Structure formats: C-alpha cells, structure tokens
Amino acid sequence: MAKHHIEATVNGDAMEFLCETEDTLLDVLRDTLQLTGSKEGCSSGDCGACSVMLNGRLVCSCLVLGCEVAGHRVDTIEGVAKGQALHPLQQKFLEHAALQCGICTPGFIVAGKALLEKNPNPTDTEIRYWLAGNLCRCTGYDKIVTAVKDAAVALRKG
Amino acid sequence: MAENGTNGTNGQGYVGTRTIRPDGVDKVTGRARFGADFNLAGQLIGRVLRSPHPHARIVKIDTSKAEALPGVKAVITRDDFADQSSEFIPAGEMMMNYKDVVRNVMAREKALYEGHAVAAVAATSSAIARKALKLIDVTYEVLPHVIDVVEAMRPGAPVLHDDLFTVGVEPKPDKPSNIAKRIEITLGDIEAGFAKADVIIEREFKTAPVHQGYIEPHAALATVSEDGSTELWCTTQGHYIVRAHCARLLGLDIGKVRVTATEIGGGFGGKTVVYLEPLAIALSRKAKRPVKMVMSREEVFKSSGPTSGATVRVKMGATKDGRFVAGFAELKYQAGAFQGSPVQPGVMCAYAPYDMENVHVIGYDVVSNRPKVAAYRAPGAPISEFAVESVVDEIAKKLGLDPIELRLMNAAHEGTKAAYGPKFGPIGLEETLNSIKKTEHWNTPLRKWQGRGVASGFWFNIGGETSASLTVNEDGTVSLMAGTPDIGGLRASLAMVAADELGIPYDKVRPIIGDTGSLGFNFLTGGSRSAFSGSMAIVEAAKQIKAELCARACKLWEAKPDQVEFKDGAVRPIGSLGEKAKPMTIADFAKVAGKTGGPIGGYGRINAQGAGPSLGTHLVDLEVDPETGRVTILRYTVAQDAGKALHPAYVEGQFQGGAVQGIGWALNEEYVYGADGKLQNAGFLDYRMPVASDVPMIDAILVEVANPKHPYGVRGVGETPIIPPLGAIANAMENATGIRFTELPMSPPKVLKALREREAAAKV
C-alpha cells in the first residue's frame, strides 16, 4: 500500500511527511523528521520518554499513529527552548542536577511543562502524580521534583 | 552547602561546588545523541530471531527463505561466528568467558533461555526484517528446563552444559551439573566463635532476579568496509571493552575497530557486556552496508542481563553485650544460562561492614534457563548484605539493643581486617551511623502500621586502567578527553579537577568522551571507578602541562628550574627573576606555542590503585496498609562516605537514585516465570519500577572521610547506595508488623498473605 501523505504543524512549522499506516508518531518524529529528542524506552506508553504535546495535550508519541496527526499541532522537546533562551524548566533541571544519564529528561521536561501550564503552583504530591507516567531510573526523582517546583516559582515571577 | 548551579569557585577551587554540567544543555534540549539516535546513509535495519523455548537443542536452521525475500541483505546464525576457547577475563567486578560470550550473543548447540538469539537479519526496512525473521525455519528439540536456583542444584535437574563440572569441590565431580563453582572465604575459627555466642540467629532468605531497568534499550550501529575497517557506535559503559569483545568474536585486529560510545541512557552494570554489537558488525560485514540494531523493551527484559536471584542462609552469633563473634553464610546465586554470577563479591561483602574475628562464607555459582546475568550496581552485594543486615536487626531486638548502637559497637574501622583479605584504611561507617543517629528523622515518633528500619552497606570499589588527556588550544582554552562514558555527571567532575589543577575557569575546559582511537585503553565505567580513576589521570595530565610550561618559561627567561613555579594558572618567576620576567598564563603560552616547542598537552595513562571502600547507612520509615498489603515509603535518609564529593549534587544523586532502585528491589521488582519457563512480565507495566508518586524525597547526608590514596580524597560512590535499602526496608517491615520478611520482593500479595496467616494463627 502506498504511504500516507500527512501535513501537520511541528514545533510551529508546517511540515509534511510520508508514513506507513503502522508508523507511530514517534517513528515519524525520530526516523522521518530526524527529531530524535523524543526517546523510545518501551513502545507501550509506560515510560514517558517519548512524551510530546498533541494539540496542547500531553501524549506518549509511541501510542499515536503518524497518520493521526494530520492537520494537528505537535510540540516536542526540540521546541521547548526559544532561540538562545532555555525554558525555566530546562534551566532548573541543569541547576538542580535533575538529570544523570539524561535519556528520560526530554520526556520529563515536556511533561513538566504541561503540568506548569495547567497548574502554576503544584504541590509536591501533584508534581509526583503528574510525573508518575515518566520513568527515571537514575535520580530517584528527588531532584526532578525540586527542579519542577523551582521552575514553577520562576515562571510565577515571570 | 555550595549553591546549586553556579560555575564560580568557592574561593578554594571548583571541586566541591555544584557546577552546571558541560553536557547539560544538550541533554535538556533533546540535542544529545544516545544509542538509537545515530544513523548512516544507506543503513539497513537489523533484527534478531530469538528462541521461544527456555531450553532446546537447535537441530537445524534454514535461512534460505529469509535470504530470498526481497530487501533482505544478510542473515547470520551460529555459522557466522568461530567457536572460542575457554578463557576467563575480567568484566567489571565479575568474570566472563569468551566460550560463553560467543554462545550468548548467538546460540550454538542449544538455546538456553527464552529470548536467546538464534539468528539475525539485516534488511532495507524494519518491516522487511521482521517478515524475514518469520521465514527462518529453526528445528528445535525441546528439552526440559530449570528456572529456580535450588532446583537447578538438585541431582537429576536438567543439565544446561554437559561440560560443566563444579570447580572448587573435592573430589572433582565426574558428572556435569549446573553448579559452576563453589567458593569460600574464612577468617578465624567459626566454631570457636559460635561457642562464645550467647545468642545465635539462623535464617534463610530468598531474593528475586531484578533488572537494571535503564530506560534506554541497547542499540548499535556498525559499518564495515571492504578492507575490514570497522566503525561502531553503541550505548555502552565501556567502548574499549566492546572493541575487545567484537574484535575477538569476529577475528578482527583491535586496531581495525573504532568504537564510539554514544551518550548512554543508563546502564547500572547492564551495559558492560555485548549483545547487539557483534551481530551488527557481522551483518554489516556480510551486507557491505551500515547496519543499525535497537532492542525492544521486551528484548531488553528477556535477553539482557538482570542480576541474580538467590537463596541465602545466614547464621550469626553475638555475646549478650552485643559483640558479633561469628558469622556464617551460604549463598546460592543464579548465574543465568552461563556461569559468572556475582557470587564472589556477594561473598566478599557479606560481613565486610563489621569488625569480626570469625567469618565463614560459602558461595555457589549456579546456571539455569534464564538470561545470563550482568553486573547490577554493587553486583552481588545487596543480596548477601540484605540477609546479614536482617539478622543484625534480629540480634538487636533479641538483645534489647538499639540497632544503630549495635552496629556502632561492631562497625569496621581503620585497621579492621576484612574476611576477604585487606586491612581497611580510613573508612566512614561509624560516621554514617552517627550522622543518622543525629537526624530529626531518627528521633521522630511513628504511628500504628508504621515502621522504621536501618541498615548499612559496604562496597569495595575499583580503580584500574585509565587514559585521559588535556590539550591546550590556541586561545588558552583546554580540551579534556576521557575514555569512560559519562553516565551521570563525569564530565563536570573531571572538568572541575582540570580547572583547579590548571588554575583556569571551569567553562574554559571543554570535556568530551573520546572514541577508542583517541586515547589509550580505558577500562569501563563501572565499579564506581570513573570519577575516582579519571580524576587521577587528569591530575597526572595537568602535572605534565605544568612541568612543560615551567620548562618553556625557563627557556624564555633563561632561568633555572628552581627560579620558576606554576601557581594560580600561570608560571611565575621566583625571587630576583621577578624583576625581568612577568608571569605567563596558560593563554600566554598558547599564543607562542609554535615558537616555544609546539602544541601543549598532557596525557595521563595510569592503572589507578587505592580505591577506598565506601560505606553507607540508610534509614527508612514506611507504612503498611493492612487491607491491601501495600507498603508506602514515608521518609528516607541516606548517609554515605564519599571520601570527597567532587560534585556534591551528582554524589547526592547517586545516593538518591541507588536508594530508589533498592526500594524497587525490596518492594516490587521481580522476574516472574511461568511453569513453561517463559518470562511473564517483560514490560514496564508488569515489571513495576518505582515511579515519582511511589517515593518521598530522599535526604542525602554527605560524609567525607578522605581516601588517602587519592589526590582529592575521592572514593567511588555509585554502587554502595543500592545495598542498604533491602535490609533497611525489611527491618522497617518487621518494626511495623512484627513479621520478619525473608523473601523479596515484599510485594502486596506476599505482605497480605503474611498478615492473614498471622491473623489466622492468632484465632487458633
């Protein structure tokens, strides 16, 4: 069967690509669009390393088909920093050493940003439950929670 | 405490401050390239056919239909790998044997576990490769299998290797078995020790195999040219080790193989061995095209190393005033399908936290139809120390002693002779116990169904062969090259050491991890060695630069060596020479390098010795839900001796991360096998690692008892933190419920069953 021709907005840019029916959005991002910041840890929606925003909603891109994003807006880790300026969440991850190996970090930042857009002043518990869909095996989550909290403070200050 | 995320010094230097890691921006923006992020033009996709049987003779493999499928460019099987003679070589803190390695990467006579590689294909697309796997016709003769370690040791158990005869027993067995070896260590006279004991406790423990659980699956990209030159990009803890293994397995000269370690998405010991790498090279060699291979999560669980599950018997004796007078243990560790479980370090570490005169530990290395185990953070030690720390807690209870005081009374210290041989230099166990005792956490009251537990842990740490270089660039900035993959902040630690040694700003040092062609041999990132050994190599490289600059200054100034000194980033004239010569900075020398002797650099090539053991103590509060058996960790404190924390935030991170891995090991994680010998939970949904909502903040107390063998006093810190959680949580469970749990994981069904059994017994 011929490939599907899909048009979508990715990180604010109009993009078009061809994909097989079974290709996931993650396959398209990584293999076709070369946006390898979203990571594949499990392909079953359990690790959150492939977290992206689809029309402003947090999703695991391994659970979305490439064809499904036709006409929609996809935002990935590559679009989080604006030009030279890191997003406060990215800055706080660096300052608090909230990453060790860094493979889960893009997913945590995309998910954390989604949380702070919804809830600018989350409690520790709210942060922990919101991020429960993202696995980190290195940090024990302590410094990640601290970084998200501190980023919330920075964002509230504006 | 130094402020977070500053790149300034604390007045004395960068070491000990919380700088921002030089590779950080790439890692928070998605730019950093991990194993699966590398691609080459014209690459093929490789996939592996894996055995569906836990134990089967491979009668025949017919690949003809797969080879005929359009788009398939190469198919490999056991026939593509020459057999290897038996030779044991060090792998991390464990040993491996090429005869087994060649059989683990591609099954030969038999498939020995579900998921064992049987064939591999390279095709123009992933879909075609998948289709090709289905066309490979393997004729199996299915054999009876054995999964459990105790069953595998029984006479009459299905034997995995008919040439495996137990080593270390007399007389030498005349029949093969699944027991690869028996080892033991003894100190003093164990029987005389027990004779002095007022209290003797004997218990049997069981732990389940657990996976390292790195989030990044194994990945490799290989390209082999017509003349045999080979390039490989892969996610590994040691690219020099990968190079050696691949060269050996494929009959290549080491010099022809160039391996680049990509950024690594976690390893914890699991990426110290090869799986896909030799297959990708073999496929590329056959297809004459680059080949990329990435494991699925299911493959990671079924085919890459978890650590051993084990059965452990511990018998300890103490006098009534709390002195440990005898310690016996018998450890039976699963090795998986090939020998080489971490039972040796398990034996070494079992009683190492304590100053004891009489110790006897026996270990068995046992094969069964499971994936071959790989190192996992302090390999072997969490299992044996869990058992000992549980019994120590019982002794405290029986004698009515405070568990911290009991440990303090028996703690190993400088001068203690460990049962496994060495006499300890300065070590910090007593300091960690005392700092835990002083916490507010230790002194906070608990409620019903809540419990508190404490446990200590010991890991010996290693050094080893290390190369690193410093190159002064034309503008005076410095390029730092290390050859051990940076798995959690290594670049930051090494850059701080280089900046301090050379007296230049931290951000003028740019650290990179070089490929195997860039530096001499480096042993892998493991054994808590990379910051310890790497910083020693950097100190050596900096010393060479400083000596070279002083020599050049002498020439320029027509001075004698004792008239110049290197201080605060510059060569300075001493005494009267100061009247005619002005200090020259590294940047000044860089500008005139061409006129004064050429490029400036230093190259540290060392075999690092003197790794000091790191000891720690953990304190945990938990709550048991009597309705469901679920255990919630309420509060957690780690105190560990770091010697000197080069980067305190990343050292704390090791403590916190290790603690949470230990929590997972203690409470939830396990490999679940069906009666058919197949793994039933090969995914993150059913293999339940801790998520953010499962754990509290982990308070980290940095204890610093300097290691006198290191220029900054550093001890490796990465492995010790996974050891104490198992015992601390079991001890807290006893405190909460009055029940001594001896089997891991203490998952809700097991806890609920124990609570109900007690209820039923009370009614009778």
Residue A88 has pLDDT above 70, yes or no: yes
pLDDT digits (tens, 9 = 90+) for B396-418: 999 999 999 999 999 999 999 99
The answer to whether residues B472 and B455 belong to one domain is no
- d(CA B163, CA B150) in angstroms, rounded, equals 20
Please give the full DSSP string across A47-88, using - where no structure is assigned.
S-TTEEEETTEEEEGGGSBGGGGTT-EEE-GGGTSBTTBPPH
Count of CB pairs separated by less than 8 Å, A with B = 189
- d(CA B261, CA B162) in angstroms, rounded, equals 37
Residue B8: predicted pLDDT = 67
Helix (H, G, I), strand (E, B) or coil at A111: helix
The answer to whether residues A10 and A74 belong to one domain is yes
Residue B456 inside a domain? The answer is: yes
Chain B residues within 8 A of A76 when measuring between CB atoms: 30
- Other beta carbons within 10 angstroms of residue B108's beta carbon come to 17
- Which of B19, B27, B263 would best serve as a mutation to test chain A binding (most A beta carbons within 10 A)? B27
Chain B residues within 8 A of A20 when measuring between CB atoms: 127
Q: Which of residues A59, A79, A99 is at a domain's end? A: A79
| Mean pLDDT across B269-298 | 98
Contact B263 A102 (CB under 8 A): yes
Q: Which of residues A79, A96, A113 is at a domain's end? A: A79
- d(CA B524, CA B245) in angstroms, rounded, equals 13
* Residue found under tokens 């405490």: B1
The answer to whether residues B503 and B582 belong to one domain is yes
Dihedral of CA atoms B51, B369, B661, B523 in degrees, nearest 10, equals -80
Contact A139 B296 (CB under 8 A): no
Q: Which of residues B608, B630, B659 is at a domain's end? A: B608
pLDDT digits (tens, 9 = 90+) for B587-627: 999 999 999 999 999 999 999 999 999 999 999 999 999 99
The answer to whether residues B658 and B754 belong to one domain is yes
Residue B366 inside a domain? The answer is: no
The answer to whether residues B124 and B62 belong to one domain is yes
- Please name the residue of chain A whose CA is at the shortest distance from the CA of residue B264: A101
- The total number of structural domains that make up chain B: 3
The answer to whether residues A108 and A139 belong to one domain is yes
- d(CA B78, CA B96) in angstroms, rounded, equals 20
The answer to whether residues B712 and B628 belong to one domain is yes
Chain A residues within 8 A of B689 when measuring between CB atoms: 135, 137
The answer to whether residues A137 and A103 belong to one domain is yes
Residue B753 has pLDDT above 80, yes or no: yes
Residue B12: predicted pLDDT = 72
**Which strand (E) or helix (H) includes residue B539?**
helix B530-557
Q: Which of residues B243, B275, B303 is at a domain's end? A: B303
Chain A residues within 8 A of B487 when measuring between CB atoms: 100-101
Residues 207-226 of chain B whose Cβ lies under 8 A from any Cβ of chain A: 212-217
The answer to whether residues B651 and B744 belong to one domain is yes
Helix (H, G, I), strand (E, B) or coil at B191: helix
Residue B524 inside a domain? The answer is: yes
Partners of residue B570 on adjacent β-strands: B567, B585
Residue A1: predicted pLDDT = 66
Q: How far is A129 from chain B (nearest CA, A)?
A: 5
- Other beta carbons within 10 angstroms of residue B610's beta carbon come to 14
The answer to whether residues B714 and B566 belong to one domain is no
pLDDT digits (tens, 9 = 90+) for B706-730: 999 999 999 999 999 999 999 999 9
From A109, A134, A140, residue closest to B695, measured CB to CB: A140
Averaged pLDDT score across all residues of chain A: 97
Residue B3: predicted pLDDT = 65
- The total number of structural domains that make up chain A: 2
Q: How far is A71 from chain B (nearest CA, A)?
A: 25
User: Which CATH number characterizes residue A75's domain?
Assistant: 3.10.20.30
Residue B578: predicted pLDDT = 87
Residue B33: predicted pLDDT = 98
Contact B266 A125 (CB under 8 A): no
Q: How far is A23 from chain B (nearest CA, A)?
A: 10
* Residue found under tokens 């990343």: B650
Contact B20 A44 (CB under 8 A): no
Contact B215 A106 (CB under 8 A): no
Residue B284 inside a domain? The answer is: yes
pLDDT digits (tens, 9 = 90+) for B186-210: 999 999 999 999 999 999 999 999 9
- d(CA A51, CA A63) in angstroms, rounded, equals 10
- d(CA B54, CA B43) in angstroms, rounded, equals 33
Instruction: Indicate the DSSP class of residue A30.
Output: I
Answer whether B404's CB lies under 8 Å from B382's CB: no
pTM summary value: 0.97
Chain A residues within 8 A of B213 when measuring between CB atoms: 137
Contact B5 A95 (CB under 8 A): yes
Residue B250 has which token pair?
């494929």
The answer to whether residues A43 and A101 belong to one domain is no
**Which strand (E) or helix (H) includes residue A130?**
helix A124-130
Chain B residues within 8 A of A149 when measuring between CB atoms: none
Residue B297: predicted pLDDT = 98
φ, ψ (nearest 5 deg) of residue B266? 90, 150
Residue B360 inside a domain? The answer is: no
Contact A101 B263 (CB under 8 A): yes
Residue A57: predicted pLDDT = 98
- Please name the residue of chain A whose CA is at the shortest distance from the CA of residue B485: A101
Please state, for a pLDDT cut of 90, what percent of chain B lies above it: 96
Please state, for a pLDDT cut of 70, what percent of chain B lies above it: 99
Residue B429 has pLDDT above 80, yes or no: yes
pLDDT digits (tens, 9 = 90+) for B727-745: 999 999 999 999 999 999 9
pLDDT digits (tens, 9 = 90+) for B167-183: 999 999 999 999 999 99
Dihedral of CA atoms B156, B162, B167, B173 in degrees, nearest 10, equals 60
Chain A residues within 8 A of B698 when measuring between CB atoms: 140, 142
Contact B683 A80 (CB under 8 A): no
pLDDT digits (tens, 9 = 90+) for B472-515: 999 999 999 999 999 999 999 999 999 999 999 999 999 999 99
Chain A residues within 8 A of B632 when measuring between CB atoms: none
Q: How far is A108 from chain B (nearest CA, A)?
A: 9
Residue B358 inside a domain? The answer is: no
- Which of B23, B28, B697 would best serve as a mutation to test chain A binding (most A beta carbons within 10 A)? B28
From B21, B27, B297, residue closest to A41, measured CB to CB: B297
| Mean pLDDT across B227-239 | 97
Residue B418 inside a domain? The answer is: no
pLDDT band at A62 (very low <50, low <70, confident <90, very high): very high
Averaged pLDDT score across all residues of chain B: 96
| Cα distance from N-terminal residue to C-terminal residue, chain A | 51
CB contact, 8 Å: B169 with chain A?
no
Residue B96: predicted pLDDT = 86
Answer whether B513's CB lies under 8 Å from B484's CB: yes
| Mean pLDDT across B450-462 | 97
Residue B94 has pLDDT above 80, yes or no: no
Residue B2 has pLDDT above 70, yes or no: no
The answer to whether residues B633 and B658 belong to one domain is yes
Q: Between β-strands B219-224 and A4-10, what pairing exists: parallel, antiparallel or unpaired?
A: unpaired
- Which amino acid makes up residue A50? C
Chain A residues within 8 A of B661 when measuring between CB atoms: 137, 140
Chain B residues within 8 A of A96 when measuring between CB atoms: 4-5, 649
From B296, B685, B697, residue closest to A142, measured CB to CB: B697
- Please classify residue B588 by burial: count the beta carbons closer than 10 Å to its beta carbon, then call 0-12 exposed, 13-18 middle and 19+ buried: middle
CB contact, 8 Å: B41 with chain A?
no
Residue A158: predicted pLDDT = 80
pLDDT digits (tens, 9 = 90+) for A105-135: 999 999 999 999 999 999 999 999 999 999 9
Q: Which of residues B556, B584, B608 is at a domain's end? A: B608
What is the domain extent for residue B528?
464-608
CB contact, 8 Å: B578 with chain A?
no
pLDDT digits (tens, 9 = 90+) for B301-337: 999 989 999 999 999 999 999 999 999 999 999 999 9
The answer to whether residues A68 and A96 belong to one domain is no
- d(CA B371, CA B87) in angstroms, rounded, equals 20
What helix, strand, coil percent values describe chain B, rounded to 5?
Answer: 30, 25, 40
Q: Which of residues A56, A79, A102 is at a domain's end? A: A79
Helix (H, G, I), strand (E, B) or coil at B171: coil
The answer to whether residues B640 and B759 belong to one domain is yes
The answer to whether residues A93 and A71 belong to one domain is no
What is the domain extent for residue A149?
88-157
pLDDT band at B391 (very low <50, low <70, confident <90, very high): very high
Residue B1 has pLDDT above 50, yes or no: no
Residue B360 has pLDDT above 90, yes or no: yes
CB contact, 8 Å: B263 with chain A?
yes
- d(CA B14, CA B647) in angstroms, rounded, equals 9
Contact B693 A129 (CB under 8 A): yes
Residue A84: predicted pLDDT = 86
From B37, B266, B652, residue closest to A137, measured CB to CB: B266
Give me the helix-helix angle, B748-763 and B724-737, nearest 10°.
30
The answer to whether residues A37 and A104 belong to one domain is no
From A47, A77, A86, residue closest to B215, measured CB to CB: A47
The answer to whether residues A107 and A53 belong to one domain is no
Q: How far is A121 from chain B (nearest CA, A)?
A: 18
Residues 6+ apart with CB under 8 A from B764: none
Helix (H, G, I), strand (E, B) or coil at B128: helix
The answer to whether residues B532 and B589 belong to one domain is yes
Residue B6: predicted pLDDT = 66
User: Which CATH number characterizes residue B89's domain?
Assistant: 3.90.1170.50
pLDDT band at B92 (very low <50, low <70, confident <90, very high): low
The answer to whether residues B624 and B685 belong to one domain is yes
Answer whether B293's CB lies under 8 Å from B280's CB: yes
Give me the helix-helix angle, B381-399 and B403-410, nearest 10°.
110
Contact B656 A144 (CB under 8 A): no
pLDDT digits (tens, 9 = 90+) for B23-55: 999 999 999 999 999 999 999 999 999 999 999
Q: How far is B236 from chain A (nearest CA, A)?
A: 12
Residue B569 inside a domain? The answer is: yes
User: Which CATH number characterizes residue A148's domain?
Assistant: 1.10.150.120
The answer to whether residues B625 and B575 belong to one domain is no
Residue A46 has pLDDT above 90, yes or no: yes
User: Which CATH number characterizes residue B691's domain?
Assistant: 3.30.365.10
